[in-house]
């Protein structure tokens, strides 16, 4: 939808808030510019928050990966000292941290995708705002025609006892979509509560085998070296 239709949609929205009071074209365009400026500022704040969340996940992921490496090194040290029991304990820790790191990696990927989408929306909103500012005088002239047509349509509706349908334009739809995306970007993906207990039970069953398998793999690697 073009810039003029976005302004016209804003006029329709403002008219409902003001009891369908018609404003001058200059005021209408200026109000639309002000509204879009506020929307851009709000979206920019949402992007900043989403970026911060992404960076926080990156820090947590790096810390988990470093911890997994630490426990792997400790398992190797325990084998150097011929202490297989201690090596098993270290590998058990490493496997738990590896699982946590994998979960954080998934969360980071999802968060980054949402943040990138939010950034793209912000860029589009900024571009539309700049276009409206550049075409302000043209839009004012066209708005006069639009107001005249709106008034004629309202008069016709009054005579027939019907009302014209509201014209909700792309600008309002875009803002509502942006708000939904911003909310979605704040949510962190996770397992459903119903799966937690079942996953824990299977994890307990598999943990012992996983540790033994990891120990044997470490032994094999060290023998090969």
For residue 21, pLDDT beyond 50: no
What would the pLDDT profile of 215-225 be if each residue is shown by its tens digit? 778 878 877 76
Other CB atoms within 10 Å distance of the CB of residue 180 = 10
What would the pLDDT profile of 122-180 be if each residue is shown by its tens digit? 999 999 888 888 877 776 677 677 767 776 666 665 555 444 444 445 555 655 565 56
pLDDT of the residue at 132: 82
Tokens (6 digits) for 222:
């060290």
Residue 61: C-alpha distances to residues 47, 95, 188, 208 (Å):
21, 15, 14, 25
Could you tell me if 80 and 212 are in contact, meaning their C-beta atoms sit under 8 angstroms apart? Answer: no
Which of 13-27, 144-158, 170-184, 189-203 shows the highest mean pLDDT? 144-158
* H or E, element range at 157: helix 136-160
pLDDT of the residue at 167: 42
Q: What is the CA radius of gyration of the chain?
A: 30
Stated pTM of the model:
0.54
> Chain-centre distance of CA 107, in angstroms?
12
């Amino acid at each position: 939808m073009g810039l003029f239709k976005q302004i016209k949609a804003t006029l329709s929205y403002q008219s409902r808030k003001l009891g369908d009071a018609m404003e001058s074209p200059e005021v209408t365009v200026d109000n639309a510019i002000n509204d879009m400026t506020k929307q851009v500022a709000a979206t920019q704040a949402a992007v900043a928050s989403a970026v911060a969340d992404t960076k926080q996940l990156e820090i947590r992921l790096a810390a988990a990966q470093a911890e997994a490496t630490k426990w792997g090194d400790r398992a190797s040290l325990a084998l150097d000292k011929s202490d297989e029991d201690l090596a098993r304990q270290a590998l058990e820790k490493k496997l738990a941290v590896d699982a946590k790191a994998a979960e954080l990696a998934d969360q980071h990927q999802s968060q980054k995708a949402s943040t990138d989408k939010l950034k793209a929306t912000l860029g589009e909103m900024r571009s539309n705002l700049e276009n409206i500012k550049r075409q302000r005088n043209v839009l004012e002239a066209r708005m006069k025609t639009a107001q005249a047509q709106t008034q004629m349509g309202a008069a016709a509706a009054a005579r027939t006892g019907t009302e014209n349908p509201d014209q909700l334009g792309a600008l309002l739809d875009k803002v509502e979509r942006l708000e939904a995306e911003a909310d979605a970007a704040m949510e962190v993906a996770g397992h459903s509560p119903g799966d937690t207990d079942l996953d824990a039970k299977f994890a307990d069953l598999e943990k012992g085998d996983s540790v033994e398998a990891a120990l044997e793999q470490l032994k094999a690697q060290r023998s090969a070296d």
